[in-house]
């Protein structure tokens, strides 16, 4: 009964979420105004010694509803990697503190909006399986401050080891996690769909935002320096 009511409430909230006004630009480079393309893995409020790369950006030119909290959760479910509502974490249980990021939008360092895990096709217990055997994982940050109100979502995406390895990142896990998400988002046969909503995503691969290599990167795992910019539209 509780589970049914919870899911019904969540879906109703999703259906009633008011779309935002479409933004004018895809995103603003956080580093131009004192921000960083690495989050702060310590969860602090000042520049971190180590952080996770913000290696995927959902463009502010996406369909406005995609950029809302519930809209992004529905898109995430559609691409087959993450589940909304109770399965964002294993039965709603989260271990570890949130990480922060400074997107150069005038807000300074803020906590992640949400943290999502791969659900292996099961929206209730799938993230518990991810906790056991590992899988794709992301943190979401929104660029909506007074100096850069683009609405873009910056994602720190990685592929994790299993629970015996303490959920550390697999070798090359930042690049692998990013590419798995992009592959699912840009699929056209069929287009990603969930909850009666179908999506189309176009991809731009950007260089120059993230430096290649492992300097400042959490766990010392090198990245190729590529940031994937996805413009997601509802079709």
Domain boundaries, the chain: 24-234
- Across the range 185-191, mean pLDDT stands at 96
Indicate the pLDDT class of residue 201, thresholds 50, 70 and 90.
Answer: very high
Spatial separation of the C-alpha atoms in residues 104 and 14, rounded to whole Å: 29
What is the model's pLDDT at position 68?
A: 96
Quick: pLDDT tens for 35-73: 999 999 886 554 557 999 999 999 999 999 999 999 999
The chain-wide mean pLDDT, for the chain, equals 79
Indicate the pLDDT class of residue 94, thresholds 50, 70 and 90.
Answer: very low
b/e burial code for range 91-115 (CB count within 10 A of at least 16 → b): eeeeeeeebbbbbbbbbebbbbbbb
Residue 131 has pLDDT above 90, yes or no: no
Beta strand segments in 161-209, E: 193-194, 197-207
């Amino acid at each position: 009964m509780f589970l049914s009511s919870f899911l019904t409430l969540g879906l109703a909230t999703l259906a009633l979420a008011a779309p935002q006004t479409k933004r004018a630009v895809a995103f603003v480079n956080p580093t131009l105004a004192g921000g960083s393309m690495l989050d702060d893995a310590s969860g602090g409020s000042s520049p971190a010694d180590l952080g996770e790369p913000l290696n995927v950006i959902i463009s502010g030119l996406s369909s406005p509803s995609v950029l809302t909290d519930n809209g992004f959760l529905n898109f995430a479910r559609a691409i087959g990697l993450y589940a909304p509502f109770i399965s964002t974490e294993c039965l709603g249980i989260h271990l570890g503190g949130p990480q922060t990021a400074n997107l150069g939008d005038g807000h300074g360092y803020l906590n992640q909006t949400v943290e999502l895990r791969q659900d292996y096709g099961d929206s209730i217990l799938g993230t518990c399986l991810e906790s056991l055997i590992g899988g794709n994982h992301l943190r979401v940050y929104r660029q909506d401050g007074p100096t850069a109100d683009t609405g873009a979502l910056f994602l720190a995406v990685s592929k994790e080891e299993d629970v015996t390895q303490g959920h550390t990142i697999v070798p090359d896990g930042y690049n692998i996690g990013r590419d798995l998400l992009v592959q699912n988002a840009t699929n056209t046969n069929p287009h990603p769909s969930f909850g009666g909503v179908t999506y189309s995503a176009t991809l731009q691969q950007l260089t120059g935002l993230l430096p290649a290599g492992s300097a400042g990167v959490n766990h010392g795992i090198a990245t190729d320096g590529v940031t994937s910019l996805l413009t997601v539209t509802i079709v």
